[in-house]
Amino acid sequence: MLKTALLILTMAQGDATRVTLSEADSLSDCEASLDVLSQILTEAGNPPIAAICGETALRLEPFIHGTPPEAEIHRYRVEVPNGNGYRIAPLAKDETCTPDLAADPAVYCAQSGQGVLTDG
């Protein structure tokens, strides 16, 4: 089942890309969060590379503010097409990812402290 979620890409330590994914109750709630978080990140000197509301079937653990860089052990391939939306998929331990920001969709290889939630 698809859920509305806010995807944010930012720069992490060592020029890595960080991804966070936060579910929202509705598109309007997502857009409100997008505006507020984009402003906060920009004022903190780390403006988002991308901040996008869209639909995804992927569920990640809740975002925890202040997660240390060494806890960002989860890797994801994020595709951002020109226009709107995004696609995000976890990468297997040995799976490679090659960023291609000039492509359509642009490809980002990102890390996160948020792991994939699985049905239990």
Higher pLDDT, 50 or 66: 50
Range of the domain at 86: 3-112
CB contact burial 95-112 (16+ within 10 A = b; e otherwise): eeeeeeeeeeebbbbbbb
Mean pLDDT value across the chain: 93
- Whether 81 is in a domain gets the answer yes
**Distance, CA of 62 to CA of 22 (rounded, Å):** 7
- Whether 33 is in a domain gets the answer yes
- Whether 120 is in a domain gets the answer no
- Whether 97 is in a domain gets the answer yes
> SS3 of 102, please?
coil
What phi and psi, each to the nearest 5 degrees, are found at residue 87? Answer: -130, 135
pLDDT for position 86: 97
In this predicted model, what pLDDT tens digit does every residue of 68-83 receive, in sequence order?
778 889 999 999 998 7
pLDDT for position 13: 80
Helix (H) or strand (E) holding 30: helix 27-43
Pairing label, strands 74-80, 50-56 = unpaired
- Whether 45 is in a domain gets the answer yes
Tally of domains in the chain:
1
- Whether 118 is in a domain gets the answer no
- Whether 93 is in a domain gets the answer yes
Please calculate the CA angle 41-55-35 and round it to the nearest 5 degrees.
Answer: 25
In this predicted model, what pLDDT tens digit does every residue of 80-110 receive, in sequence order?
998 789 999 999 999 999 999 999 999 999 9
Structural tokens at position 32: 């409100």
In this predicted model, what pLDDT tens digit does every residue of 12-49 receive, in sequence order?
888 899 999 999 999 999 999 999 999 999 999 999 99
Ordered DSSP codes for 33-72: HHHHHHHHHHHTT---SEEEEEEES--BPPP-TT--GGG-
Task: Kindly indicate the confidence band of residue 119, based on its pLDDT and cuts at 50, 70 and 90.
Answer: low
